[in-house]
Structure 1
Amino acid sequence: MRAPIGTFGDARPAVDCLELLIEPVADAVRAWHGDIPVQQLIYVDTDPEIADTAAFVEHYGRELLEQSANCVVVSGKRGGESTLAACVVLSSTRVDVNGVVRKQLGARKASFASMDTAVGETGMEYGGITPIGLPAEWPLLVDSSVVDTEWVLIGSGRRRGKLIVPGKAFVELPGAVVVEGLGIEPS
């Protein structure tokens, strides 16, 4: 199969290679339902040594920067209570943690979750966290530009491999809220 974006040598429906996915991601693909057929969630094998965005697009093609998204775990705090959430923005932008995220979560303070918290709470590898397979009770904030992108390259839950999914699939994920202006231009 040929990937809908990029030039990847090994592309196949994620549902056909569940053994390559980390458990929470495989479980989410297995249980997938909605308007987007599960066969449109494509797994591509990639080098784990270049999983970070800058190295990845340098190797696999700079055009992927506008078609790639990052998923980051954030923590909102208010009155001694802490709320974990995930944010998905295009890789060419950064998450507006102190503005949009803080307001969306109704938090007094918001920040990126520590690596230990992100990994421990998601069951995924740092540098490969994906919105597919996150805890269902978490808010999932998705920048509207991600939803408007035809095909989006995101993590697979591991540093090895990526998923390519239709942008519209993000609205079907548990806890998803589409947010304008979540991703802002880097300063």
Structure 2
Amino acid sequence: MRTPMDAFDDVRPAIECLDLLTEPVAAALRAWSGPVPVDQLSYVDTDPEKADTAVLVENYGSWLLEQSANCVVVAGKRGGESTLAACLVLAHTRADVNGVVRRHLGARKASFAPMDTAIGATGMEFGGITPIGLPADWPLLVDAAVADAPYALIGSGSRRGKLIVPGKALAGLPGATVLEGLAV
């Protein structure tokens, strides 16, 4: 079975590429205490023009779609309160924002956070948001299929580059809750 590493010529330990990562992601890797050693998280340099999933798989291999995961920022609202959270689902699925996410957050309404809110709150670039380095107080909802994946190709915090991370490491991130049925 092919892994995301097979699609790229230059795969390096992410901890050796801190200068290529946004500060929140680099800080999270420097302080890493996850369920797998930090050197099992890899970085691959990719063209920022090919950051969007559809373009990425078209250029690097259509089989990557099954092994890529997208991190989306959502806002749950109840009363006058708004809660930001992140969802991590396989790229060929979508997060059940109005069902599973809304109920899990205890929100009356849930929607994707506006782009300015997402990038301002994460310190990452739109199209590269990753669950590694999110604000510590955010809930991180991880679909069970991502947690069970041997590896997932995810954003690196910027449009340039991707991270390849064991699903077990993603399930063990701060604030992470693994949910069956998060993705539809």
Q: TM-score, normalised by structure 1?
A: 0.95
AA paired with 2:99? Answer: G
Aligned to 1:35, the other structure's residue is in SS state: coil
- % identical equivalent positions: 73
AA paired with 1:99? Answer: G
What is the root-mean-square deviation in Å for CA atoms of aligned residues?
0.9
Question: Structure 1 residue 34: deviation in Å?
Answer: 3.0
User: Aligned pair 1:102/2:106, yes or no?
Assistant: no
Structure 1 segments of 4 or more deviating over 6 A?
A: none
AA paired with 1:13? Answer: P
Question: Structure 1 residue 33: deviation in Å?
Answer: 1.0
Aligned to 1:64, the other structure's residue is in SS state: helix
Q: Is the 8 A contact 1:144 1:181 kept in 2?
A: yes
User: Aligned pair 1:137/2:134, yes or no?
Assistant: no
Distance 1:72 1:171 in 2: 16
* CA offsets 1:34-76 (integer angstroms, 9 cap, x no match): 3300000100000100100000000000110010000000000
- Structure-1 residue corresponding to 2:182: 182
User: Aligned pair 1:113/2:132, yes or no?
Assistant: no
Q: Is the 8 A contact 1:6 1:61 kept in 2?
A: no
Structure 1: which 5+ residue stretches go unaligned?
none
Q: Is the 8 A contact 1:78 1:107 kept in 2?
A: yes
- Structure-2 residue corresponding to 1:123: 123
Distance 2:101 2:176 in 1: 13
Structure 2: which 5+ residue stretches go unaligned?
none
Q: Is the 8 A contact 1:6 1:64 kept in 2?
A: no
- Structure-1 residue corresponding to 2:77: 77
Aligned length: 182
Question: Structure 1 residue 6: deviation in Å?
Answer: 3.2
Superposition pairs of residues 19-34 of structure 1, within 5 angstroms: 19-34=19-34
